[in-house]
Chain A
Amino acid sequence: METRVIVVTSGKGGVGKTTVTANLSARLAMEGFKVVAMDADIGLRNLDVVMGLENRIVYNMVDVIEGTCKLPQALVRDKRVENLFLLPAAQTRTKDAVTSDEMKGLCDSLRGEYDFVLVDSPAGIESGFRNASAGADEALVVATPEVSSVRDADRIIGLLESFGKRSINLIVNRVRPDMVRKGKMLGVSDVREILAVDMIGIIPEDETVVVSTNRGEPLALSNTSPASRAFEKIAGRILGRDIPLQDLDDLEEKGLFANFIKLFGRREGRG
């Protein structure tokens, strides 16, 4: 198949770009595809620790671009799952160490050899984000249901559209259905309606994410927690499988009857 280069981005920091990149990469590799997870956050690298590969890094992306090593030498192979590779960012350099054209060249040199390249973008809308998106055909925008995150996601979507990305899909992360039902928090439907882009997945708030990050074992590799199942579904949708976003209806009450029940104080949730 033709290589798909997908940038994972958000605008705001701390909403889960790196977790999403690590888990979707692992999940796609488990499906039998050859995957490179690329850390484009030069100077603040983190994908390596989230994936648990920090001890095996020899060379990094900037070494490849500067010709210090060949591309295959910089790729760290994940021993837990076949066909999963990490291309680490440089930690002792800054975002100015690479240009958009160099990043594009790097992504292009992975084409043909791999099925998926997932690029973990740095936060912000400056050069780091622009470089990370430069080589990508598609984008996954991660947002949490908070005003600051949604606002930043909107800005990022506008920029990605202006770069001409052919596919922009939204992932809503850290959803708390209990708070949505009580009217305390934005729901998935609110975020989707406000941002008006295609949605590819919903990830519930799940403490196993913290545990897996602490251990350096992507959730997708081991357990069946709610977040892990969400990653599995998102990977399936990326592969073009028709998996309905049914979680949306489970998460939020809809329609007149539901509102009627809510009005008269029934508080038990459905989920």
Chain B
Amino acid sequence: MGFLDRFFRKETPRQSARERLQLVLIHDRADISPDTMERIRKDLIKVINNYMVINEEGIEMDLERDGRSVALVASIPVIEVKRKHPRKRDK
């Protein structure tokens, strides 16, 4: 690798390998299909809607890795918290 490359190259092959592996392993370890992710998203919206008004378009959901474990991280923008528990209101 030449001197100038050190400044202008985006990424070394070593870094590419690391990043590609990390991404591929998240999915290998979790083994969740996009279809399943979509179903989880819809179910989450359903549950949270009982308590809060949320911006469904703004939901971000992703699998992130931490050591040998994978976490499902969801960011759900809240527009308004509902005042009362829905079941209480039913009674």
Contacts and interface: CB of A to CB of B under 8 A. Distances in A.
A248 to B, nearest CB: 15
- Looking at B1, B3, B6, B14, the one whose CB has the most chain A CB atoms below 10 A away is B14
Contacts of B68: 157, 195-197
Contacts of B25: 151, 154, 194
Interface residues of A, number: 23
B28 A190 contact: no
Contacts of B1: 182-183
B21 to A, nearest CB: 5
A263 B18 CA distance: 20
Contacts of A79: none
Interface in A185-215: 185-187, 190, 194-197
Interface string A216-230: 000000000000000
A183 B22 CA distance: 17
Contacts of B29: 154, 158
Nearest to B25: A154
A184 interface: yes
The DSSP consensus for interface residues of chain A is helix
B12 A184 contact: yes
A147 B14 contact: no
Interface residues of B, number: 18
Contacts of A184: 12-14
A180 interface: yes
Given A196-B67, A263-B6, A265-B3, A150 B14 contact: no
B66 to A, nearest CB: 9
Given A158-B29, A196-B67, A190 B6 contact: no
A180 B6 contact: no
B6 A151 contact: no
Nearest to A186: B17
Interface string A147-167: 100110011011000000000
B15 A183 contact: yes
A185 B24 contact: no
Interface of B: 1, 3, 6, 12-15, 17-18, 20-22, 24-25, 28-29, 67-68
13 contacts: A147-B17, A151-B24, A151-B28, A155-B28, A183-B13, A183-B14, A184-B13, A184-B14, A185-B13, A185-B14, A190-B14, A194-B25, A196-B67
